[in-house]
Structure 1
Amino acid sequence: MDSRLTETLTETLTVVTALGCGLVAGVFFAFSGFVLAGLDRLPGEQAGAAMQQINVTAVRAPLMVALFGTALGAVLVAALAVHRWTPTASPWLLAGALLYLIGAVGVTIAGNVPLNDALAAGTRTWEQYRGPWTLANQVRTLTSLAAAGCLTVALRAG
């Protein structure tokens, strides 16, 4: 493949992935910023029931495409960073990809989803759920935002 075409595809993929990271960071920020605060205005049992319904509707195309489509972009960006290593852009590309994959997707799978399952199963009350879920969500927010920043820096450094 022509090197200029490869460079253009890499830049385009990096821009799209950075935008996805930013979009997902915004979704996570909204939860920590005001959705949970709104739910806290309800009695614990109602807040837990409302969150369960939010969790059901979250596992649909808009969020899943954003979350996992961005993960696919991050995997491809990481592979390109390693394959076409440059000392200026590749470390930023790799950092951004890993921040997103570990901090957004990994924390979702290892932290938020098990907490959601526990809330749905009734093994955690809202009061037991909210603190750990919020902490994990804040990690997802910050790492997604940091990933977008790293990918953006890579575009300037490349």
Structure 2
Amino acid sequence: MPFIDDLAFLLAFLAVISCGLMGGLFFAFSNFVMQALARLSPEAGIAAMQAINRTVLNRIFLGTFLGTTAACALLTLYAFVHWEVSGTFFLLLGSLLYLAGNFGVTLFCNVPRNNALAKLDAGNPDSSVPWRIYLDEWTRWNHVRTGTALAASAMLMIGLFLMLAMD
């Protein structure tokens, strides 16, 4: 396997792991975190989610989330340039799933909702209606992120297997 293919293999291997990690994180939010927050009073739920949104902006999460985005962007370029390499279709598909379904959805759907939530006064009774809307919409988009991250991990893994099979 040429050096560039070896690098792509390593990058795809790391992307498989990090897409799975992100999918697990999003799954936890979809499966129980948001449901638990919905059971709290609006005041407590808003305050808790505001705290989560501030806390998640840390080096580990951002490094994993943005590092996975960068890996998938590089794998997309690799796939277009090295289309003849076995497995590149799946590397491309997995990468595009992550880029659109995780980075894109986060940027255009979840983050704007988080920014709007940050402006809510948790103690104001009028915040309960926007909070309920937030819970519904944010969670719906988070389901998309969960599915696409896990599907991306699976597609990237198939691409890796095919790369190994042809080596």
The TM-score, its normalising length taken from structure 1, stands at 0.93
Residue number in structure 1 paired with 2:70:
72
Q: Which shifted more, 29-38 or 121-130?
A: 121-130
Question: What percent identity do the matched residue pairs reach?
Answer: 39
Q: Distance in 1 between matches of 2:84 and 2:30?
A: 37
* 1:132 corresponds to which of 134, 137, 145: 137
| Alpha-carbon shift at residue 46 of structure 1 (Å) | 1.1
Instruction: Spell out the pairing of 1:1-158 with structure 2 (5 A cutoff).
Output: 4-86=2-84, 88-122=86-120, 125-158=130-163
Matched residue type, 1:144: A
Q: Distance in 2 between matches of 1:21 and 1:13?
A: 12
Residues in 1 aligned to 2:5 and 2:92: alpha-carbon distance in whole angstroms = 16
Indicate if the aligned counterparts of 1:95 and 1:150 stay in contact, CA closer than 8 A: yes
Q: CA offsets per residue over residues 7-53 of structure 1, 9 Å max, x none?
A: 22111111001111111111111111111122122101210111011
Distance in 1 between residues matched to 2:92 and 2:116, nearest whole Å: 34
Q: Can you list the C-alpha shifts for 1:73-115, whole angstroms capped at 9, x where unaligned?
A: 0011111111111274111111111100010000000000011
**Residue aligning to 2:124:** none
Count of matched residue positions in the alignment of Structure 1 and Structure 2: 156
The letter of the residue matching 1:118 is A
- The offset of 1:5, in angstroms, is 2.2
Is the 8 Å Cα contact of residues 38 and 135 (structure 2) preserved in structure 1? no
Match of 2:123 in 1: none
Paired residue secondary structure (2:64): helix
Counterpart AA for 1:68: L
8 Å CA contact 1:48–1:125 kept in 2: the answer is: no
Report the 3-state secondary structure (helix = DSSP H, G, I; strand = E; otherwise coil) of the residue aligned with 1:106: helix
Q: Is the Cα–Cα contact under 8 Å of residues 76 and 95 in structure 2 kept in the other structure?
A: yes
Root-mean-square deviation (CA), in Å?
1.4
Question: What is the TM-score normalised by the length of structure 2?
Answer: 0.88
